[in-house]
Chain A
Amino acid sequence: MKLHLWAIAILSVMTQMLTTSGSVEAQTEASDYGIQEVAQINQLVRQGWADYEIRPSIAATEGEWIRRVYLDILGRIPSVDELREFTKDRSPDKRKALVTKLLYDEQYTEQYANNWTTIWTNVLIGRSGGTERNSLINRPGMQKYLRDSLARNKYYNEMVYELVTATGSNTPGTDGFNGAVNFMTMKLEEKAAQATAKTSRIFLGLQVQCTQCHNHPFNEWKQQKFWEMNAFFRQTRALRRFESGTRNVSHVELVNESFQGEGLTKDPNKADIYYELRNGITKVAYPVFVDGQTINPSGYIEDVIRRDELGKLMMESRYLDKMLANRIWAHFMGYGFTKPIDDMGPHNPPTHPELLDYMGQQIRKKNFDLKQIISWVALSEPYALSSRTNSSNESLDDPLLGETPKFSRFYMRQMRAEELYESLLTATRAHEGRGDYEAQEELKSRWLGQFVVAFGNDEGEETTSFNGTIPQALMMFNGDLVKKATDKEKGSFLNELAASEWNNTQKINYLFEAAFARKPNTNEVKVANQLLVARKGDLTAALQDIWWAVLNSNEFILNH
Chain B
Amino acid sequence: MSRSLTPKGMTRRHFMSHLSGASAMTMPALAMGNTLLANADDLKRRRKSAVLLWMGGGPSTMDIWDLKPGAPTGGPFRPIATSGDVQISEHMPLMAKQMHNMAIVRSMSTREADHGRGRYYMHTGYVPNPNIEHPSYGAVLSHQLSHQRPELEIPPFVTVGGGSVGPGFLGMAWAPFSVNSNGQVRNLQMGLEDQRLYQRMYALDLIESGFINQRRGSAASDHQKILKKTLNLMTSSQMDAFKVASEPENVQERYGNTNFGRGCLMARRLVEQGVPFIEVDLGGWDNHQNIHATLRDTKLPELDQAMSALVEDLEQRGLLEDTAIIWMGEFSRTPRINGNAGRDHWARSWSVVVGGGGMNGGIAVGETNSDGTRVETEPYTSQDVMASVCKALGISLQTTFTSQNGRPMKIANSGKIIKELFS
Contacts and interface: CB of A to CB of B under 8 A. Distances in A.
Given A213-B345, A394-B215, A545-B200, A477 B230 contact: yes
B186 A479 contact: yes
B199 A478 contact: no
A79 B198 CA distance: 30
B285 A456 contact: yes
B19 interface: no
Interface in B125-147: 130-132
Contact of B219 (A217, A458, A475, A558): A558
B21 interface: no
Interface stretch (B174-182, B243-251, B391-399): B174-182
B336 A280 contact: yes
Interface residues on B, range: 35 or more
Contacts of A403: 131, 405
Nearest to A544: B200
B219 A554 contact: yes
Nearest to A548: B200
B336 to A, nearest CB: 7
Interface stretch (B96-104, B187-195, B272-280): B187-195
Interface in B214-232: 214-220, 222-224, 226-227, 229-230
Contacts of B222: 468
B191 to A, nearest CB: 8
B10 interface: no
A340 B129 CA distance: 10
Nearest to A209: B114
Interface in A348-402: 348, 387-390, 394-395, 398, 400-402
A229 interface: no
B415 interface: no
Given A402-B407, A465-B163, A474-B187, A412 B281 contact: no
A458 B178 contact: no
B176 to A, nearest CB: 7
A213 B131 contact: no
A521 B214 CA distance: 13
A340 B130 contact: yes
A455 B187 contact: no
Nearest to A459: B115
B210 A470 contact: no
A470 B156 CA distance: 12
B224 A554 contact: yes
B370 to A, nearest CB: 16
A458 B288 contact: yes
Contacts of A213: 113, 344-345
A468 B226 contact: yes
Contacts of B116: 461
A521 B114 CA distance: 51
Contacts of A123: none
B187 A470 contact: no
A531 B215 CA distance: 28
Contact of B178 (A453, A468, A548, A552): A453
Contact of B185 (A469, A474, A531, A554): A474
A453 B56 contact: no
Interface stretch (B80-88, B201-209, B310-318): B201-209
B76 interface: no
A404 interface: yes
User: Which of A413, A414, A475, A560 gathers most chain B CB within 10 Å?
Assistant: A560
B29 to A, nearest CB: 12
A504 interface: no
Given A339-B130, A555-B211, A402 B283 contact: no
A233 to B, nearest CB: 17
B369 interface: no
A523 interface: yes
B172 interface: yes
Given A545-B196, A553-B208, A389 B162 contact: no
A524 B207 CA distance: 7
Interface in A530-560: 530-531, 534, 545-546, 548-550, 552-555, 557-558, 560
A459 B114 CA distance: 10
B57 interface: yes
Nearest to B189: A478
A470 to B, nearest CB: 5
B419 interface: no
Contacts of B188: 474, 478
Residue of B155, B176, B217 contacting most chain A CB atoms (<10 Å): B217
A516 B132 CA distance: 31
A85 interface: no
Given A455-B283, A474-B185, A546 B216 contact: no
B116 to A, nearest CB: 7
A100 interface: no
B361 to A, nearest CB: 28
A401 B404 contact: yes
B131 A404 contact: yes
Contact of A455 (B117, B162, B169): B162
B186 A412 contact: no
A461 B286 CA distance: 12
Contacts of B155: 470
A361 B203 CA distance: 50
Given A412-B219, A468-B223, A458 B214 contact: no
Contacts of B56: 455-457
11 contacts: A190-B288, A394-B215, A395-B405, A453-B163, A470-B229, A474-B188, A521-B210, A524-B207, A545-B200, A554-B220, A555-B207
Minimum-distance CB pairs A-B, first 8: A456-B283, A456-B56, A554-B223, A549-B203, A549-B204, A473-B230, A402-B405, A474-B187
Given A456-B281, A470-B230, A524-B210, 5 more contacts: A390-B215, A455-B163, A469-B175, A469-B176, A548-B200
